Amino acid sequence: MSQEKEKEEKIKQFTPLSVSFRVLLGLYLIIPLCLLLYGLDTLFWQGWLHDNLPTRPTHFLLFQVLFGTPHILASAILLASNQAYLQYYKNHLLWVTLAIMVVFGVGSLFIPYRVFYLAVATWTVFHVLKQQHGVARGVCHLPNWAHRTLLGLSVAAGVLIYIGIFLHTSLSAQILAQIQQAAGILTVLLLLCALSVQRYVTNWLGKGFLWMNVFLVVSSFYLYVQSYYFFAILMPRLVHDATAYIFYVTHDYNKHATAPQNALYRVAARYRLSLFCVLPLLSFSLAFFLQAYGDAAVSWLTVQLFGVEIRKAVTLGILGYLALIHYYTEAITWKIGSPYRQFIAFSK
């Protein structure tokens, strides 16, 4: 009986968290920070950062552990640890898994690698930018055509920047120049479009999100042209991942604060782990072990059991699959009316 009273009292005292638009907007401070570092490097440091930072962020294990993989794992944990969510989205998960198997399994027999690469690159950029434009839409209140035009131009420019960075060692100078020129044209069109549609935004917060999303692409393009590839990728990656974690942690806090609703948070409650730490701690730890040791462990195991070495089974196979699942599920799980959204509120 005392436990019931304690639970009732906890519910009465509970104040749900909300996602602050100001906090989300503050994440874009990474843009001036990267531009400042670029300026310092060119003016005072004789290009030391340019020469020593990797040309691809994925060359840093630390980058892979901190960005990209953890929030994908966090998304998977959030979905898999809640039985009701799995039940609700099971048909979606089955169909997208089947589609991935067909496209990347059967399709790999006759579809060229470059086509696969372009498709995944496009989906990746679309996923990253759609999230940011989707969040901004809540305060910008743009007409549908304006929202879609800004998103379309951003994604088109972003895909070219992505290809120009990640394939810069495997494409000819002529093709790279054409990619850069096309990305520049799209970036200019994006700026002109933003100037044209900003009249529809009537509040400072909305204008801030509108222009920060534009500057995210513009700054990435500029740093890409200057060959500061690390910064060009870091800016959208950090904004995207940090935004995702704010939603995930807010959801989990509001869902489990009064009483743990699944095994993961019951264990966390037993060991008195903060609700704010559970998902980040688990996802970052998993990302580290999978990225650092996953492939080697699977290779060793398959050699011992079958006498055959399977390479990159974790980083390409498991994490690749989870990334594609993540791109799909994130587009539907956070929509208004979804089970996730009942635990999300917004504030300025």
Task: Say whether pLDDT at 58 is over 60.
Answer: no
In a domain, 177, yes or no: yes
Q: How far apart are CA 75 and CA 186, in angstroms?
A: 32
Q: How far apart are CA 144 and CA 195, in angstroms?
A: 16
Amino acid at 194: A
In a domain, 241, yes or no: yes
Q: How far apart are CA 273 and CA 275, in angstroms?
A: 6
The pLDDT tens digits of the residues spanning 315-333 come to: 878 888 999 999 999 999 9
Q: How far apart are CA 247 and CA 215, in angstroms?
A: 23
Q: How far apart are CA 347 and CA 19, in angstroms?
A: 6
Q: How far apart are CA 327 and CA 128, in angstroms?
A: 9
The pLDDT tens digits of the residues spanning 79-119 come to: 999 999 999 999 999 999 999 888 887 777 787 888 888 88
User: What does the pLDDT read at residue 72?
Assistant: 94
Residue-number span of the structural domain to which 139 is assigned: 17-347
Q: Which residues contact 43 (CB under 8 A, 6 or more apart)?
A: none
DSSP-assigned letters across all residues of 269-325: HHTT--HHHHHHHHHHHHHHHIIIIIHHHHHHHHHHHHS----SIIIIIIHHHHHHH
The pLDDT tens digits of the residues spanning 235-247 come to: 999 999 999 999 9
- Identify how many contiguous H helices and E strands the chain contains and give both numbers: 16, 2
Query: What's the structural domain count of the chain?
Result: 1
User: What does the pLDDT read at residue 108?
Assistant: 73
Task: Say whether pLDDT at 1 is over 50.
Answer: no
Residue 348: pLDDT band by 50, 70, 90 thresholds? confident
Residue 24: pLDDT band by 50, 70, 90 thresholds? very high
Task: Say whether pLDDT at 10 is over 80.
Answer: no
Which tokens in the block code for residue 336? 């208004």
User: What does the pLDDT read at residue 294?
Assistant: 85
In a domain, 3, yes or no: no
Question: CB neighbours (10 Å) of residue 173?
Answer: 8
- Residues above pLDDT 70, as percent of the chain: 93
CB 231 within 8 A of CB 37: yes
In a domain, 6, yes or no: no
Q: How far apart are CA 274 and CA 252, in angstroms?
A: 11
User: What does the pLDDT read at residue 60?
Assistant: 52
Taking residues 210-233, what's their average pLDDT?
Answer: 96
In a domain, 135, yes or no: yes
The pLDDT tens digits of the residues spanning 74-84 come to: 999 999 999 99
The pLDDT tens digits of the residues spanning 298-314 come to: 888 888 888 777 888 77
Question: Residue 280, class by beta-carbon neighbours within 10 Å (0-12 exposed, 13-18 middle, 19+ buried)?
Answer: middle
Which tokens in the block code for residue 277? 């730490």
In a domain, 38, yes or no: yes
Q: How far apart are CA 257 and CA 266, in angstroms?
A: 11
In a domain, 155, yes or no: yes
User: What does the pLDDT read at residue 132?
Assistant: 95
In a domain, 210, yes or no: yes
The pLDDT tens digits of the residues spanning 128-164 come to: 999 999 999 989 999 999 999 999 999 999 999 999 9
